[in-house]
């Protein structure tokens, strides 16, 4: 009743009154673009095929469905996801109300996966080809052919690209936190780790494999509360700072304090909603601090998250520098083992590397074009010392820390190597120190546009 009275669902009329499209609200813009590509809608949203946009997909209002479909020859349901819940329910509603007409849905569209504009143009062409042969769809057919040709060309140009599993950026500040968690798990065992949406969920993949569950943006602590009573170890929740402000502060932290939870929350304070391209937050570092930091982290210039948590009543709160793996391990272990009963929050601080590189790269390019000296830090592996056991790779997962053939003809195991993309975050060195690995890692300074003094020192 509420849905109908407040007109949450919308009907958009069209000249082809014998046809209709029922679409999930979120797909409406894509549908209009697809209709425009087929020459059946203008740029302002006026289309030829009537549309019922379900801005509320559950529950359906039977009267709205029957009213929209009455007198139509055929209706297409556009529903992402599987199985086809909406289509099945509409079929039942129409059958019960004795509304005739053909119902289409997954027979025209693919069952699972995104409904992008290309998929929608294909599906709509199939539907309209059966029920509206008077419509000229040649524009859409030509467009689809072009798309296919572009794909073939792209396939020819990029035949040798390897599959690229999703993972943290090179030098990401969140990677070291998972290295620390992996190290501590060797001592105290693996706890249940709840994650939510954000870059940190890459930590659930190899080589870290730290996530047990993943719930919506900012929901990790709320979800950890559900497993807490069944868990022998303190559950750990990992939340990005974007998720913290979006949802986590109330549904996670406030609720945990109210219910006297005893878990551990790690807030990844990278300064932005990073996974979507670094949108700013309440706690983003101030502009002037970012300008000064350039390629370094400016995340410590803002303490809104710490202040908010303290104000809310969190008593156990620590802020760590993510890249100090030894320190992060120590604080994390303390949080897991302390006698303190109540929520323990670790603020894992390190500004998003993507954002830092966006500041750094143009500045370096400008400096180099003016012939000015620039020093870049890069890490490396001494191939003579490397034993080839690759424990560093299993603890880091950095895409620029990889393997190469062993230069020693008497040894067959490939050795570790750092390739040129390294941004010098220092995690390799920290890991080998914290985990007492081999002494193969070295820190190098690459001097570009060297001065006479640099050249003279290099000759010594
Ligand atoms: S976008 Fe930022 S936070 Fe996300 S993986 Fe890249 S560096 Fe890390
Ligand atoms: S220092 Fe190590 S972890 Fe950091 S970017 Fe370079 S190779 Fe990757």
Q: Which domains does the chain have, with CATH numbers?
A: 2-157 (3.40.50.920), 175-355 (3.40.50.970), 373-459 (3.30.70)
Nearest C-alpha to atom 8 of ligand 1 is from which residue? 172
β-sheet bridge partners, residue 416: 403
> What does the DSSP 8-state code read for residue 203?
G
Task: Please report the pLDDT score of residue 163 as a whole number.
Answer: 74
Pocket of ligand 2 (CB under 6 A): 170-171, 379, 396, 398, 400-401, 418, 422-428
- Measured at the CA of 368, the angle between CA 365 and CA 369, to 5 degrees, comes to 85
Q: Mapping DSSP to helix (H, G, I), strand (E, B) and coil, where does residue 61 land?
A: coil
The residue whose C-alpha atom lies closest to atom 4 belonging to ligand 2 is: 425
Measured in Å, residue 327 CA sits from the centre of ligand 1 at: 21
* Contact present, 404 and 375 (Cβ < 8 Å): no
Which ligand has the nearest atom to the CA of 179?
2
Ligand nearest to C-alpha 351:
1
Residue keyed to tokens 């993507």: 354
Q: Give the integer Cα–Cα distance in Å for 329 and 433.
A: 12
Residue nearest to atom 1 of ligand 1 (CA): 274
Q: What does the block give as tokens for 35? A: 């209709």
The pLDDT of residue 32 is: 96
pLDDT of amino acid 149:
96
pLDDT at 159: 72
User: Which ligand ends up closest to the CA of 274?
Assistant: 1
The residue assigned the tokens 């009275």 is 5
Helix locations, 228-302, DSSP H: 241-243, 255-258, 287-293
Query: And the tokens for 379?
Result: 């890490």
pLDDT at res. 307: 98
Q: Is 270 in the pocket of ligand 1 (CB under 6 A)?
A: yes
For ligand 2, the distance from its centroid to the CA atom of residue 50, given in whole angstroms, is 55
Whole-angstrom distance, CA of residue 285 vs CA of residue 354: 14
Residue 198 Cα to ligand 1 midpoint, Å, equals 9
- Produce one character per residue of 270-285: b if its CB has 16 or more CB atoms within 10 Å, e if not: bbbbbbeebeebebbb
Q: Which ipTM score applies to this complex?
A: 0.92
In this structure, the residue with its CA closest to atom 3 of ligand 1 is 352
How many alpha carbons lie under 13 Å from residue 156 in its C-beta half-sphere?
5
Is any ligand 1 atom within 6 A of the Cβ of residue 352?
yes
SS3 state of residue 345: strand
Mutation test of ligand 2: which of 173, 392, 400, 441 has the most ligand atoms closer than 8 Å to its C-beta? 400
Note the pLDDT of residue 437: 79
Q: At what angle do helices 427-434 and 175-188 cross, to 10 degrees?
A: 10
Which of the residues in the chain have pLDDT under 70?
Answer: none
| Separation between Cα atoms, residue 92 and residue 207, nearest integer Å | 48
Which residue's structure tokens are 């390799």?
428
Instruction: Please give the structure tokens belonging to residue 167.
Output: 């993972």
Backbone phi, then psi, for 402, in 5-degree steps? -135, -160
Q: Which atom of ligand 2 is nearest to the CA of 401?
A: 7
Say if ligand 1 is within 6 A of residue 210 CB.
Answer: no
pLDDT of 228? 87
Q: Left (φ > 0), alpha (ψ -120 to 50) or beta: where does 275 sit?
A: alpha
Closest ligand by atom to 297 CA: 1
Lookup result for tokens 């249940």: 192
Predicted confidence at residue 160, as pLDDT, reads 72
């Amino acid at each position: 009743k509420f849905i109908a009275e407040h007109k949450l669902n919308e009907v958009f009329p069209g000249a082809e009154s014998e046809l209709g499209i029922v679409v999930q609200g979120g797909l409406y813009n894509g549908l209009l673009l697809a209709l425009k590509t087929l020459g059946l809608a203008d740029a302002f949203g006026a289309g030829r095929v009537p549309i019922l946009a379900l801005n509320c997909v559950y529950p359906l209002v039977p009267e709205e469905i029957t009213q929209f479909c009455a007198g139509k020859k055929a209706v297409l349901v556009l529903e992402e996801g599987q199985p086809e819940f909406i289509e099945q329910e509409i079929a039942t509603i129409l059958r019960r109300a004795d509304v005739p007409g053909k119902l289409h849905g997954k027979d025209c569209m693919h069952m699972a996966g995104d409904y992008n504009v290309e998929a929608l143009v294909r599906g709509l062409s199939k539907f309209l080809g059966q029920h509206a042969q008077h419509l000229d769809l040649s524009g859409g057919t030509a467009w689809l052919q072009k798309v296919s040709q572009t794909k073939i060309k792209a396939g020819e140009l990029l035949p040798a690209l390897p599959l690229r599993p999703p993972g943290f950026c090179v030098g990401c500040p969140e990677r070291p936190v998972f290295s620390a968690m992996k190290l501590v798990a060797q001592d105290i065992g693996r706890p249940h780790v709840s994650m939510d949406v954000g870059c940190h969920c890459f930590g659930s993949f190899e080589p870290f494999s730290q996530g047990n569950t993943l719930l919506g943006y900012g929901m990790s602590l709320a979800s950890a509360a559900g497993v807490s009573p069944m868990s022998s170890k303190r559950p750990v929740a990992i939340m990005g700072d974007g998720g913290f402000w979006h949802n986590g502060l109330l549904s996670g932290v406030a609720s945990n304090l109210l219910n006297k939870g005893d878990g551990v929350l790690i807030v990844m304070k990278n300064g932005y909603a990073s996974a979507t391209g670094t949108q700013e937050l309440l706690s983003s570092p101030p502009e002037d601090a970012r300008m000064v930091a350039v390629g370094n982290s400016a995340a410590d210039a803002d303490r809104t998250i710490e202040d908010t948590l303290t104000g809310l009543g969190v008593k156990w709160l620590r802020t760590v520098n993510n890249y100090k793996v030894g320190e992060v391990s120590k604080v994390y272990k303390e949080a897991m083992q302390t006698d303190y009963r109540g929520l323990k929050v670790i603020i894992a601080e390190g500004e998003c590397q993507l954002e830092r590189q966006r500041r750094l790269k143009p500045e370096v390019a400008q400096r180099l074009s003016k012939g000015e000296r620039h020093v870049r830090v890069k890490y490396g592996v001494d191939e003579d010392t490397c034993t080839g056991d690759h424990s560093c790779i299993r603890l880091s997962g950095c895409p620029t820390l990889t393997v190469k053939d062993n230069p020693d003809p008497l040894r067959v195991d490939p050795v570790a190597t750092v390739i040129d993309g390294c941004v010098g975050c220092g995690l390799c060195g920290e890991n080998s120190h914290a985990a007492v690995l081999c002494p193969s890692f070295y820190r190098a300074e690459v001097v570009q546009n060297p001065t006479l003094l640099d050249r003279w020192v290099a000759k010594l």
